[in-house]
Amino acid sequence: MRHTIISAVALALTGFTVSADQVIASKSQRGSAYTANDAAAMTPPVTERETKNVSYSFPIKNMMQIDQSVKPAHIQSRQYSLDVTGKQLMSGVALNTSAKGALVRISAFDGKSVVEPKNLSLVNRKGTVFAQGKAFDTLVSSAAMQKNGVGFQRGTTGLKVADSLGAGTFTLKADQNINQNARYRINVFEKQSDMELHLTANKNSYLQDDVLNVDAKVFNQGKAQEIVTIKSKLVSPEGKTFKVNFKRSKDGYIINKPLDMSAHAVPGALWELHTEAKVKSSGQLIQRNGQLPFAFAEKTAKLSTAPTIVGQKQSPVAMIPVSVNQDGRYEVRAVLYGTDGAGQLKPLMMTHSAANLAAGEAMITMKFDSGIVARSGLSAPYDVKHLELRDQQQMVLLER
């Protein structure tokens, strides 16, 4: 039974940081959350070594099957982190909590200077000392964390503050002698708290010189809280950081930053906006940290003139002109419309076509599935709508 509890806590500790494909569930849901690059259903796999011109189609009967709306990027966070030294941990580090049962994770930057939970004491606001891990309902050693955790580096331990201690300000202190120069990251996840940081960008994919628009708010039981301090930075997939500043809005803070720096593109990897906000609650400062992921890339090509359709009667083929700034592999997606018996255009199929293109004026040939055309009951004249252009090497949407 105890092993099951430790495993559950170790796995729960993985929920501290929102990654590109994760969203922390909210107690005060405020709209849909989306943090990954959008992709149409039934997208065929594309390998890095693919060099041939390819086309792939699937039938559709109405545009409700295809979601081409611009998706916001959104995360919610009930966690925060502190970077401390061994000297600070031996002297005592303040942990402010707004709910009982906080989950705490301690990671040694060097992976060696482990602080086991049984060698930690906790002091409450009244000055009562709970030594040798007695303040914790569950203790997860570094060995157990390695066995049960997901992706944690060596030197990571975890614990759950006893529910009976409630919420408030605590002092966490190392009872044993540790390397005073060692560096640690302390993550505190308040699973039972309603105090949440919300970060929302107007879209999840940006190109160079676009304006990053992000809204930051902290909610407690659905009500916006006054943010006392807030700071943020942009982090590229390569780890480079860029300073950004929030400005006060009506009930939170906003960022409107032109993305004029190099994209530092790593195919498929996302940038992140790291934000730390503090609000005052019951006389104490409550901190929340959030990492908002989004795609950011160079605009390496654009759609030029309107597409043309040849072979109208039996096997329509669309020629899609593309102005290319950089050699690469590019993909166009579009919906082919056909004409019904009443002379109305109806959506017939979605087609994805990809080709290697050299810099300059180029063309992607979009071949439609003649079998789908025959089974649809639709005929010429045809039309191509809802065009999208993607850079497959950067794995990003360039134009819609």
Last residue of a domain, one of 186, 215, 235: 186
Given pLDDT bands bounded at 50, 70 and 90, which one contains residue 13?
low
**What is the domain-level CATH number for residue 365?**
2.60.40.3870
Whether residue 264 sits in one domain with residue 305: no
Whether residue 202 sits in one domain with residue 97: no
- Lowest-confidence segment of 13-27, 64-78, 134-148 by average pLDDT: 13-27
CA 302 from centre of chain:
26
Whether residue 218 sits in one domain with residue 348: no
Whether residue 134 sits in one domain with residue 7: yes
Last residue of a domain, one of 281, 297, 313: 297
How many domains would you assign to the chain?
3
Q: What is the pLDDT of residue 50?
A: 63
Q: Tokens at residue 238, please? A: 């390569």
Whether residue 394 sits in one domain with residue 314: yes
- Containing domain of residue 8, as a range? 2-16+82-186
Give per-residue pLDDT as tens, 99-150. 999 999 999 999 999 999 999 999 999 999 999 999 999 999 999 888 876 6
